[in-house]
């Protein structure tokens, strides 16, 4: 039987820590499902990138890392306004899986209560490989480029990500 693991994140944006954790999970399972969560969100300071842009960034980053893409499924899933039914919402839209990997205690709790095996993956350089830090640096004109894979950087340039974030910061609330 094929053993599948799932990891769910907002990936705003995907960074080097995410790619490390994807590679690590792929050592433990046959196939990995990467769920691009909060798929309905985009163009805010907390969630600047569309689900489609995030899918593109993740698939290109995995290809760059020479991960066999036939072992990875990347699917966008929007949030639902009810935590108690969220797990069935996810399972209804995802390929079948057995193990849930998440550093997010709420995600682990919800899947555990639904009877899934849950695992906490290791964090890599969490202070820097952190979406909030990367978005903050982009807005403030600090160096952020080395925190994301080259392939993500290319997509960010293509979609003029810095310009978008700077514009959003003029109308949206401040990050910190």
- Cα 147 to Cα 149: distance, rounded to the nearest angstrom: 7
Closer CB to ligand NAD, residue 1 or residue 118? 118
The two structure tokens encoding residue 50: 């569309």
Q: Which of residues 39 and 168 has its CB atom nearest to ligand NAD in the complex?
A: 39
Residue 112 Cβ vs ligand NAD, minimum distance, rounded to whole Å:
13
Q: How far is the CB of 6 from ligand NAD (least distance, A)?
A: 10
Nearest-angstrom CA–CA distance, 168 and 69: 33
- Cα(43)–Cα(68) distance, integer angstroms: 31
Which of 18, 12, 9 minimizes the C-alpha distance to 123? 18
Q: Which is nearer to ligand NAD, 38 or 169 (CB)?
A: 38
**Which C-beta is closer to ligand NAD: that of 8 or that of 148?**
8
Tokens of 13: 């944006």
Q: Binding residues for ligand NAD, per CB under 6 A?
A: 7-11, 17-18, 21, 37-38, 79-80, 83, 86, 102-104, 106-107, 121, 123-126, 129-131
- Euclidean distance between the first and the last CA atom of the chain, given in angstroms as a whole number: 47
Closest distance to ligand NAD from the beta carbon of 15 (Å):
7
Closest approach of Cβ 176 to ligand NAD, in Å? 16
């Amino acid at each position: 039987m094929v053993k599948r693991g799932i990891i769910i994140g907002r990936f705003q944006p995907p960074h080097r820590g995410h790619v490390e954790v994807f590679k690590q999970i792929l050592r433990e399972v046959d196939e990995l499902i990467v769920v691009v969560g909060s798929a309905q969100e985009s163009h805010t300071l907390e969630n600047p990138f569309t689900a489609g842009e995030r899918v593109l960034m993740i698939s290109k980053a995995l290809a760059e890392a020479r991960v066999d893409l036939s072992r990875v499924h990347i699917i966008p899933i929007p949030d639902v306004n009810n935590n108690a039914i969220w797990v069935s919402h996810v399972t209804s839209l995802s390929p079948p899986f057995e193990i849930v990997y998440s550093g997010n205690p709420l995600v682990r709790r919800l899947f555990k209560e639904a009877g899934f095996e849950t695992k906490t993956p290791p964090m890599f350089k969490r202070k820097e490989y952190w979406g909030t830090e990367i978005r903050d640096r982009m807005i403030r004109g600090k160096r952020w480029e080395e925190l994301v894979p080259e392939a993500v950087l290319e997509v960010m340039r293509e979609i003029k990500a810095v310009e978008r974030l700077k514009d959003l910061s003029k109308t949206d609330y401040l990050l910190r």
